Amino acid sequence: MNLNDLTVNDTEKIALDDLFFSDENKSALLQIIKEHQYIEELKKYNLKVDNKILLHGSSGCGKTTTAKAIANTLNKKIIIVNLSTVIDARIGETSKNLKAIFDKAIRERAVLFLDEFDQIGKSRDSDDKDVGEMRRLVNTIIQLFDYFPSDSLLICATNHYEIIDTALLRRFQLRLKYEMPSENQLNVYYDKIVSGFPLHLQNIKRKYDISYAEALDYIHTKMKKLIIEELELVQQ
């Protein structure tokens, strides 16, 4: 398979301040970013920067946008890989694809974002019928992790933290959990979303117990309906 079919070079610019997550997560991510901004100075003291992050938790709560924001803040290209597209029936091909992806990220000193990490990082102790194949794949990933240079940044995301191999988990210097937003957090997010629309359209009934992504889709769907209705009234 062509390497370009496996990766996406995303150009969307997202600022870290535009993200909504816990203060604890934000503080940890800012520390990582600062380490990479001062990487040369830290090297003088033989201090290695943290460069492997695992984002885990609820879907739609900002894991992908976090990776984009980090890359944007560091002024680095981001290479996005959905690992469900990398899996091949032949384990050797999957390992080959992964090595090519890692080589590309290292060569370009890019942020490498591996989404759905559980697709390849499943525990070697699982009851999977192909456990022998999975062990070989996880061993390959461990080697790729161990030789990943400090001037590149690896970010992985999963909704299934509990099935990731423990040897892989240990290699992440930072593991951040993303949880569903509270009602107050969603209200802050809703306020930000609707602020870009006319005042008379901002009083939309709000939904809760949903993710940030679902809230954004919900507001945009409602806004489109209201705007189209107004346009049709003007045309009558």
Q: pLDDT per residue over 63-119, tens digit each?
A: 999 999 999 999 999 999 988 777 765 666 888 889 999 999 999 999 999 999 988
- Same domain flag for 83 and 98: yes
What is the span of the domain harbouring residue 69? 3-178
Helices (H), the chain: 23-37, 39-43, 63-73, 91-108, 131-146, 166-169, 183-194, 212-235
Domains in the chain, number: 2
CB of 196 closer than 8 Å to CB of 227: no
Q: pLDDT per residue over 31-57, tens digit each?
A: 999 999 999 999 999 999 999 999 998
What's the average model confidence in pLDDT over 121-150?
77
Q: How confident is the model at residue 6 (pLDDT cuts 50, 70, 90)?
A: low
- Does residue 130 register a pLDDT over 60? no
Backbone angles phi, psi at 82, to 5 degrees: -90, 110
Instruction: Read off the CATH number of the domain in which 70 is found.
Output: 3.40.50.300
Supply 108's token pair: 């370009």
- Same domain flag for 219 and 147: no
- Same domain flag for 57 and 95: yes
- Does residue 5 register a pLDDT over 70? no
- Same domain flag for 50 and 133: yes
- Does residue 148 register a pLDDT over 60? yes
- Same domain flag for 109 and 203: no
State pTM to two decimals.
0.84
**How confident is the model at residue 12, as a pLDDT?**
67
- Same domain flag for 194 and 168: no
Q: Kindly report the average pLDDT of the chain as a whole number.
A: 87
**How confident is the model at residue 106, as a pLDDT?**
94
